[in-house]
Amino acid sequence: MNKSINRRDWFKSTLALTAGFAITPALVNSLMAGPVSQAEREFYKSARLNGGKVRLNSNENPYGPSEKAKKAVLDILTEGNRYAFAEMTELRNLIAEKEGVDPSFVMLGAGSGELLVQTGIAYGLEGGRVLSAYPTFTLLMNYAQQMNATWDKVDLNEKMEFDYQKLLSAIKSDTRLVFSCNPNNPTGTVVNAEVVKSFCEEASKKTLVYADEAYLEFLEPAHQKSMVSLVQRTPNLIVSKTFSKVYGLAGLRIGYIIGHPDVLKRVGKYGDTISPSQTAIAAAKVSLGDEEFMKMTRDKNAIARKVLTDYLDKKKFNHGKSVTNVVLFPAPKDGKTILTQLDEKGYLIRIWEYQGKEWCRVSIGTEEEMKGFIKAFDSVIS
Ligand SMILES: Cc1ncc(COP(=O)(O)O)c(C=O)c1O
């Protein structure tokens, strides 16, 4: 029997047995790393994903964790036998203070991915529709679909940005949730905060808006305009953030959402109340608001990104203007060949499908890695 049907049946039978359930890490991984193209489905059948490869396939931060975070992790190890109840409360309070909300508006997860999954389940269970632009980070919509929802998609605009006007017009009477991702993954493009704000205000009158801000800290501090400021007066809005990107804690797994307590209660039914580990919490506590580390990441990332975008410009390969650690451009050769031959040269990237074409999604590594990558890529496509 088809694997995805098994998984859906498992979900449903589990849900039938219990009001809330823990999401297994294996299940999350299977969807998070899920192939987004036929080229990837074929490539992953035989690919070996570790063993010294340059990983330009997961939008990770090559400079993290910070020294402070590493020390905090080592220091907390002796508490590894204790549940992190008190530490979770401390981190929630710190986040609430930073974001300017009451702690009851903050929910922590083992990565924001876990919270995207829970939201997808909570809002997909009753059927109806979830809506997003595409391509974007698909996790929430994948889970909503695994439940009962239909996923409606609108195209990006010609600058490869989320088209908020189109998105607003596509909300239907049974749209349960609309997903915004600003800056967006896989394009790295950002839309002006005023546009996103008026979208959130309008759309939340009709449905729940999920504003994913995983990459917001890649912008200079003056431009980091979060939608969190809307949450207190807009109950139909969730804003999510992660420590995985600019803070460099992807493998430690910690993120959070901000939303009205009633919305968080609905989402919280589908996860454990204490999923982040002592080590992740400790690292997050010292990383939160670490401007020095974030600036270092931003600056080095911008230099390394320019190595790639200069190359793409020279080749006249069209790409959206990325402000983050990922760039999307049309694949100049068939995707499976690109993946396989780059892999042989020691580089991993992603291939996406959009508008009937294949696209290369390349995460930004160090400057040296990007110099090596463009050489390898050039020889693969020549
Ligand atoms: C837009 C976006 N949101 C959320 C996530 C999930 O990140 P994490 O679960 O590590 O917080 C990612 C990961 O790449 C992402 O690109």
Q: Express each pLDDT in 122-176 by its tens digit.
A: 999 989 999 999 999 999 999 999 999 999 999 999 999 999 999 999 999 999 9
> Residue 154: enclosing H or E segment and its boundaries?
strand 150-155
Compute, in angstroms, the gap from residue 214 CA to the centroid of ligand 1.
6
Residue with the smallest CA separation from ligand 1 atom 5 is 113
Average pLDDT over residues 73-97: 97
The two structure tokens encoding residue 303: 């230099």
Residue 263 has what pLDDT? Answer: 98
Compute, in angstroms, the gap from residue 250 CA to the centroid of ligand 1.
9
Q: What is d(CA 78, CA 81) in angstroms, rounded to the nearest whole number? A: 7
24-38, 41-55, 57-71: least confident range: 24-38
Q: Which atom of ligand 1 is nearest to the CA of 116?
A: 4
Cα-based distances in Å from 354 to 136, 151, 158, 330, 359 = 11, 15, 13, 9, 7
For ligand 1, whether the C-beta of 119 sits within 6 Å is no
pTM: predicted TM-score of the whole model, two decimal places:
0.92
Under 8 Å CB-to-CB from 370, ≥6 apart: which residues? 304, 305, 307, 308, 364
For ligand 1, whether the C-beta of 244 sits within 6 Å is yes
For ligand 1, whether the C-beta of 212 sits within 6 Å is yes
Average pLDDT over residues 280-293: 97
pLDDT tens readout for residues 108-124: 999 999 999 999 999 99
Under 8 Å CB-to-CB from 176, ≥6 apart: which residues? 123, 124, 126, 128, 129, 130, 144, 149, 207, 208
Under DSSP, the state recorded for 104 is: G
Q: Ligand 1 test: best mutation among 185, 217, 243, most atoms within 8 Å of CB?
A: 185
What pairs with residue 258 in β-bridges?
Answer: 106, 239
Q: Which atom of ligand 1 is nearest to the CA of 215?
A: 1
For ligand 1, whether the C-beta of 181 sits within 6 Å is yes
Q: Ligand 1 test: best mutation among 31, 60, 242, most atoms within 8 Å of CB?
A: 242
**What structural domains and CATH numbers belong to the chain?**
35-64+292-381 (3.90.1150.10), 67-287 (3.40.640.10)
pLDDT tens readout for residues 196-224: 999 999 999 999 999 999 999 999 999 99
Q: What is d(CA 197, CA 191) in angstroms, rounded to the nearest whole number? A: 10
Q: What is d(CA 91, CA 97) in angstroms, rounded to the nearest whole number? A: 10
Residue 132 has what pLDDT? Answer: 98
What pairs with residue 357 in β-bridges?
Answer: 354
Cα-based distances in Å from 61 to 178, 304, 315, 374 = 28, 12, 26, 19
Compute, in angstroms, the gap from residue 1 CA to the centroid of ligand 1.
31
Cα-based distances in Å from 196 to 3, 133, 141, 186, 212 = 38, 13, 20, 18, 11
Q: Which atom of ligand 1 is nearest to the CA of 136?
A: 1
Phi, psi of 332 (to 5 degrees): -80, -5
Compute, in angstroms, the gap from residue 369 CA to the centroid of ligand 1.
22
Q: Which of 242, 244, 210 is nearest to 227 (CA)?
A: 210
Average pLDDT over residues 252-281: 97
Confidence tier at 321 by pLDDT (50, 70, 90): very high
For ligand 1, whether the C-beta of 183 sits within 6 Å is no
- Cβ atoms of 259 and 231 closer than 8 Å: yes
Q: What is d(CA 147, CA 143) in angstroms, rounded to the nearest whole number? A: 6
Is residue 27 predicted with pLDDT exceeding 50? no
Q: Ligand 1 test: best mutation among 162, 245, 352, most atoms within 8 Å of CB?
A: 245
Could you report how far apart the first and last alpha carbons of the chain are, in Å?
42
